[in-house]
Amino acid sequence: MKSKNLNDVYPEIIRNLPEADIPFKGVHGWISQAKDHQVVFFDIEPIGKVAEHSHGPQWGIVIEGEMKLTIGGKTDTYKKGDYYYIPDGIIHSAEFKCRSRLIDFFADKNRYKPKS
């Protein structure tokens, strides 16, 4: 089923996954949990900057919207269809000026906990 309504980007099978407990207002995510990794389907409002941080390896793709992503001091703009890789322990930050949807694979199986 094709939809142009941004509120319908994620189908019910995704929205029925456990919602991630994310400490940023305006960021929602649904976790697909495996024994050795997580996949998170993000819906991010125009929240501005996400502070520098680091964690295990992360690979992601933008499916709607746009973000500025700084990885190890180098900043690029990522739009629909662009993908990125953040190596283990590398300092990174992001900026969101419009609503964006991303799918991220985290090698850290406990990157996000489900909301209680």
pLDDT band at 3 (very low <50, low <70, confident <90, very high): low
- What pTM did the predictor assign? 0.92
* pLDDT 10s digits, 70-82: 999 999 999 999 9
pLDDT band at 24 (very low <50, low <70, confident <90, very high): confident
Give the whole-angstrom CA distance, residue 19 versus residue 17.
6
Burial class (CB in 10 A: 0-12, 13-18, 19+), 92: buried
Alpha helices in the chain (DSSP H): 12-15
* pLDDT 10s digits, 81-109: 999 999 999 999 999 999 999 999 999 99
Q: Are 66 and 35 in contact (CB under 8 A)?
A: no
Q: Which is nearest to 42 in space by CA: 20, 75, 18?
A: 20
Q: Is the pLDDT of residue 29 over 90?
A: yes
How confident is the model at residue 88, as a pLDDT?
97
pLDDT band at 5 (very low <50, low <70, confident <90, very high): low
Of the chain, the percentage scoring pLDDT greater than 70 comes to: 93
Higher pLDDT, 7 or 75: 75
Burial class (CB in 10 A: 0-12, 13-18, 19+), 83: exposed
In this structure, CATH architecture of domain 19-106: Sandwich (2.60)
